[in-house]
Amino acid sequence: MIDWKRVDELRMEIGADGFAEVADMFLEEADQAVRSLLSGLPSGEIEGQLHFVKGSALNLGLTDLASICQDGERKAAAGYGALVDIGKVAAVYQASRKVLLAGLVDTCAVVSAA
């Protein structure tokens, strides 16, 4: 679900404080993106929201989330936005978020979104 090696690499690249800021920003913006998706966006906007979440998820090592977003993004790009399982995207996001926050707490990282 989470590539902890990627999380550690990012933390090393930008430092603990920078990482906490990036994680906070991701969670805040991803929460909003998922709420937007659940609210019933027009088909043309689904691809952009999924692309954003996918990119951010990859950056933070959330591999399962990135994968499901990529699948949905491809469907939306092909004109099949109505076939994207937004509920599944939201569920994978929530599960990934929970595991990420628990893992960050376990490694003593302070993330205000907890």
Residue 114 in tokens: 């907890």
Q: Which domain holds residue 28?
A: 4-106
Residue 113 lies in a domain: no
- Contact predicate 75/84, CB 8 Å: yes
- Contact predicate 93/30, CB 8 Å: yes
pLDDT band at residue 110, thresholds of 50, 70 and 90? very low
Please give the tally of structural domains in the chain: 1
Write the pLDDT tens digit of every residue in 17-56: 888 888 899 999 999 999 999 998 887 799 999 999 999 9
Residue 112 lies in a domain: no
Q: Whole-prediction pTM value?
A: 0.84
Residue 73 lies in a domain: yes
